[in-house]
A and B are shown apart, each in its own frame.
Chain A
Amino acid sequence: AQSVTQPDIHITVSEGASLELRCNYSYGATPYLFWYVQSPGQGLQLLLKYFSGDTLVQGIKGFEAEFKRSQSSFNLRKPSVHWSDAAEYFCAVGASGNTGKLIFGQGTTLQVKP
Protein backbone atom coordinates (compact mmCIF):
# COMPACT_ATOMS: atom_id res chain seq x y z
CA ALA A 1 0.00 0.00 0.00
CA GLN A 2 1.12 3.53 -0.66
CA SER A 3 2.36 5.48 2.33
CA VAL A 4 4.32 8.58 3.21
CA THR A 5 6.56 9.08 6.23
CA GLN A 6 7.87 12.36 7.50
CA PRO A 7 10.40 11.35 10.16
CA ASP A 8 10.64 14.76 11.82
CA ILE A 9 7.54 15.85 13.72
CA HIS A 10 9.02 19.18 14.74
CA ILE A 11 12.02 21.17 13.49
CA THR A 12 13.40 24.46 14.74
CA VAL A 13 15.82 26.53 12.68
CA SER A 14 17.21 30.02 13.00
CA GLU A 15 16.14 32.67 10.55
CA GLY A 16 18.57 32.76 7.66
CA ALA A 17 19.68 29.17 8.16
CA SER A 18 19.15 26.46 5.59
CA LEU A 19 16.32 23.97 5.88
CA GLU A 20 15.73 20.39 4.85
CA LEU A 21 12.49 18.54 5.60
CA ARG A 22 12.54 14.82 5.02
CA CYS A 23 9.93 12.73 3.24
CA ASN A 24 10.02 9.03 2.44
CA TYR A 25 7.39 7.26 0.41
CA SER A 26 6.33 3.73 -0.35
CA TYR A 27 4.99 3.21 -3.85
CA GLY A 28 5.41 0.50 -6.46
CA ALA A 29 5.57 2.59 -9.60
CA THR A 30 6.84 6.06 -10.37
CA PRO A 31 5.22 8.21 -7.73
CA TYR A 32 3.51 11.53 -8.06
CA LEU A 33 4.89 13.59 -5.18
CA PHE A 34 3.76 16.83 -3.61
CA TRP A 35 4.73 19.22 -0.85
CA TYR A 36 2.02 21.37 0.71
CA VAL A 37 2.34 24.08 3.37
CA GLN A 38 -0.29 24.93 5.97
CA SER A 39 0.09 28.28 7.67
CA PRO A 40 -1.61 28.71 11.06
CA GLY A 41 -5.38 28.81 10.67
CA GLN A 42 -5.16 28.39 6.91
CA GLY A 43 -5.80 25.70 4.35
CA LEU A 44 -3.04 23.89 2.52
CA GLN A 45 -1.14 25.49 -0.33
CA LEU A 46 0.88 23.62 -2.93
CA LEU A 47 4.61 24.37 -2.79
CA LEU A 48 5.76 22.07 -5.58
CA LYS A 49 5.13 18.73 -7.24
CA TYR A 50 7.07 16.06 -9.09
CA PHE A 51 5.76 13.75 -11.78
CA SER A 52 8.70 12.97 -14.06
CA GLY A 53 11.78 14.48 -15.66
CA ASP A 54 14.30 16.56 -13.78
CA THR A 55 14.56 15.21 -10.26
CA LEU A 56 15.19 18.65 -8.77
CA VAL A 57 11.93 20.56 -8.67
CA GLN A 58 11.57 24.28 -8.01
CA GLY A 59 8.55 25.60 -6.20
CA ILE A 60 7.10 28.77 -4.80
CA LYS A 61 8.56 30.85 -1.96
CA GLY A 62 12.12 29.75 -2.79
CA PHE A 63 11.57 26.06 -1.99
CA GLU A 64 12.94 23.15 -3.94
CA ALA A 65 12.73 19.39 -3.57
CA GLU A 66 14.79 16.52 -4.90
CA PHE A 67 13.38 13.16 -5.91
CA LYS A 68 15.74 10.26 -5.18
CA ARG A 69 14.31 6.98 -6.37
CA SER A 70 17.11 4.91 -4.80
CA GLN A 71 16.26 6.32 -1.37
CA SER A 72 12.49 6.60 -1.90
CA SER A 73 12.80 10.18 -0.76
CA PHE A 74 11.49 13.57 -1.76
CA ASN A 75 13.12 16.03 0.64
CA LEU A 76 12.19 19.70 0.71
CA ARG A 77 14.90 22.34 0.97
CA LYS A 78 15.30 26.06 1.29
CA PRO A 79 18.69 27.79 1.41
CA SER A 80 17.66 30.59 3.78
CA VAL A 81 14.60 30.43 5.98
CA HIS A 82 12.43 33.46 6.72
CA TRP A 83 10.30 33.91 9.83
CA SER A 84 7.20 33.71 7.62
CA ASP A 85 8.11 30.13 6.69
CA ALA A 86 6.99 28.93 10.12
CA ALA A 87 4.16 26.54 9.31
CA GLU A 88 3.16 22.90 8.97
CA TYR A 89 4.62 21.09 5.97
CA PHE A 90 3.01 18.04 4.42
CA CYS A 91 4.47 15.62 1.93
CA ALA A 92 1.99 13.63 -0.14
CA VAL A 93 1.93 10.93 -2.79
CA GLY A 94 -0.78 10.68 -5.41
CA ALA A 95 -2.60 7.38 -5.59
CA SER A 96 -2.79 5.56 -8.89
CA GLY A 97 -5.92 5.91 -10.97
CA ASN A 98 -7.92 8.98 -11.83
CA THR A 99 -9.38 9.69 -8.42
CA GLY A 100 -7.22 12.59 -7.34
CA LYS A 101 -6.56 10.82 -4.06
CA LEU A 102 -3.59 12.13 -2.12
CA ILE A 103 -1.97 10.21 0.72
CA PHE A 104 -0.39 12.58 3.19
CA GLY A 105 2.44 12.20 5.65
CA GLN A 106 2.05 13.16 9.29
CA GLY A 107 3.40 16.64 8.72
CA THR A 108 6.44 18.50 10.06
CA THR A 109 6.02 21.60 12.16
CA LEU A 110 8.65 24.21 11.36
CA GLN A 111 9.51 26.79 13.97
CA VAL A 112 11.79 29.68 13.04
CA LYS A 113 13.89 31.38 15.70
CA PRO A 114 14.72 35.07 15.28
Chain B
Amino acid sequence: DTAVSQTPKYLVTQMGNDKSIKCEQNLGHDTMYWYKQDSKKFLKIMFSYNNKELIINETVPNRFSPKSPDKAHLNLHINSLELGDSAVYFCASSPGLAPVTDTQYFGPGTRLTVL
Protein backbone atom coordinates (compact mmCIF):
# COMPACT_ATOMS: atom_id res chain seq x y z
CA ASP B 1 0.00 0.00 0.00
CA THR B 2 2.95 2.29 -0.74
CA ALA B 3 1.72 5.80 -1.44
CA VAL B 4 4.38 6.89 -3.93
CA SER B 5 6.46 4.13 -5.48
CA GLN B 6 9.40 4.24 -7.85
CA THR B 7 11.11 1.59 -9.92
CA PRO B 8 13.85 0.68 -10.04
CA LYS B 9 15.41 1.52 -6.67
CA TYR B 10 18.92 1.27 -8.09
CA LEU B 11 20.03 1.76 -11.68
CA VAL B 12 23.60 1.30 -12.89
CA THR B 13 24.30 1.96 -16.54
CA GLN B 14 26.94 3.05 -19.04
CA MET B 15 27.38 6.52 -20.50
CA GLY B 16 25.38 7.02 -23.65
CA ASN B 17 22.60 4.62 -22.74
CA ASP B 18 18.91 5.50 -22.51
CA LYS B 19 17.01 4.63 -19.34
CA SER B 20 13.63 5.18 -17.72
CA ILE B 21 12.49 5.54 -14.14
CA LYS B 22 8.86 4.89 -13.31
CA CYS B 23 6.74 6.54 -10.64
CA GLU B 24 3.24 5.71 -9.47
CA GLN B 25 1.09 7.23 -6.75
CA ASN B 26 -2.06 5.67 -5.32
CA LEU B 27 -3.13 8.73 -3.35
CA GLY B 28 -5.45 10.12 -5.99
CA HIS B 29 -3.30 13.26 -6.22
CA ASP B 30 -3.49 15.66 -9.14
CA THR B 31 0.11 16.86 -9.25
CA MET B 32 3.34 14.92 -9.56
CA TYR B 33 6.98 16.01 -9.49
CA TRP B 34 10.50 14.87 -10.28
CA TYR B 35 13.41 16.05 -8.12
CA LYS B 36 17.13 15.45 -8.49
CA GLN B 37 19.35 15.07 -5.42
CA ASP B 38 23.04 15.39 -6.21
CA SER B 39 26.02 13.93 -4.41
CA LYS B 40 26.03 16.85 -1.96
CA LYS B 41 22.40 16.06 -1.12
CA PHE B 42 21.21 19.28 -2.74
CA LEU B 43 17.62 18.72 -3.85
CA LYS B 44 16.23 20.53 -6.86
CA ILE B 45 12.95 20.28 -8.72
CA MET B 46 13.10 19.19 -12.35
CA PHE B 47 9.50 18.86 -13.52
CA SER B 48 5.95 18.91 -12.31
CA TYR B 49 2.77 17.70 -13.96
CA ASN B 50 -0.79 18.49 -13.08
CA ASN B 51 -3.35 16.09 -14.51
CA LYS B 52 -0.94 15.04 -17.25
CA GLU B 53 -0.09 18.65 -18.14
CA LEU B 54 3.45 20.00 -17.71
CA ILE B 55 3.62 22.87 -15.20
CA ILE B 56 7.28 23.20 -14.26
CA ASN B 57 10.27 22.54 -16.48
CA GLU B 58 13.33 23.79 -14.67
CA THR B 59 16.05 24.33 -17.28
CA VAL B 60 16.66 20.62 -17.48
CA PRO B 61 18.56 19.33 -20.54
CA ASN B 62 16.18 18.06 -23.19
CA ARG B 63 17.77 14.63 -22.81
CA PHE B 64 15.33 14.35 -19.89
CA SER B 65 11.74 13.81 -20.94
CA PRO B 66 8.93 13.27 -18.45
CA LYS B 67 5.88 11.37 -19.57
CA SER B 68 2.56 11.18 -17.77
CA PRO B 69 0.25 8.52 -19.26
CA ASP B 70 -2.35 9.27 -16.60
CA LYS B 71 -2.48 11.34 -13.44
CA ALA B 72 -1.29 8.43 -11.28
CA HIS B 73 1.94 7.95 -13.22
CA LEU B 74 4.88 10.16 -14.07
CA ASN B 75 7.83 8.48 -15.72
CA LEU B 76 11.23 9.98 -16.41
CA HIS B 77 13.11 9.01 -19.55
CA ILE B 78 16.75 9.98 -19.92
CA ASN B 79 18.56 9.78 -23.27
CA SER B 80 22.31 9.63 -23.82
CA LEU B 81 23.19 9.38 -20.17
CA GLU B 82 26.18 11.38 -18.92
CA LEU B 83 28.36 11.00 -15.83
CA GLY B 84 26.78 14.12 -14.35
CA ASP B 85 23.37 12.49 -14.40
CA SER B 86 24.43 10.26 -11.52
CA ALA B 87 22.17 11.23 -8.63
CA VAL B 88 19.17 10.14 -6.64
CA TYR B 89 15.90 10.95 -8.38
CA PHE B 90 12.80 11.45 -6.28
CA CYS B 91 9.24 11.39 -7.43
CA ALA B 92 6.61 13.22 -5.37
CA SER B 93 2.91 14.02 -5.53
CA SER B 94 0.55 16.55 -3.99
CA PRO B 95 -3.22 16.58 -3.81
CA GLY B 96 -4.33 19.83 -5.40
CA LEU B 97 -3.67 21.96 -8.43
CA ALA B 98 -0.16 22.64 -7.16
CA PRO B 99 -0.71 25.44 -4.66
CA VAL B 100 2.45 25.92 -2.70
CA THR B 101 0.57 25.15 0.50
CA ASP B 102 -0.02 21.51 -0.41
CA THR B 103 2.07 18.83 1.26
CA GLN B 104 4.22 16.88 -1.14
CA TYR B 105 4.58 13.14 -0.60
CA PHE B 106 7.87 11.66 -1.75
CA GLY B 107 8.79 8.28 -3.11
CA PRO B 108 11.81 6.33 -1.81
CA GLY B 109 14.10 7.50 -4.59
CA THR B 110 16.01 5.89 -7.46
CA ARG B 111 19.78 5.94 -7.23
CA LEU B 112 21.18 6.30 -10.74
CA THR B 113 24.86 5.59 -11.32
CA VAL B 114 26.34 6.30 -14.72
CA LEU B 115 29.71 4.64 -15.39
Nearest to B3 among chain A residues (CB) is: A43
Number of A-B contacts (CB under 8 A): 70
Q: Is the CB of A102 within 8 A of B98?
A: no
Among the listed B90, B101, B103, which residue makes an inter-chain contact with A43, where contact means beta carbons less than 8 Å apart?
B90
Bound CA–CA A104/B45 (angstroms):
9
Q: With a CB–CB cut-off of 8 A, which chain A residues contact B41?
A: 88, 106-107, 109
Binding stretch for chain A, among B13-21, B67-75, B78-86, B105-113: B105-113
The answer to the question of A51 belonging to the interface, with a C-beta cut-off of 8 Å to chain B, is yes
B→A interface (CB under 8 Å):
4, 31, 33, 40-45, 48, 55-56, 58, 90, 92, 94, 97-104, 106-109
A→B interface (CB under 8 Å):
32, 36, 41-46, 49, 51, 88, 90, 94-102, 104, 106-107, 109
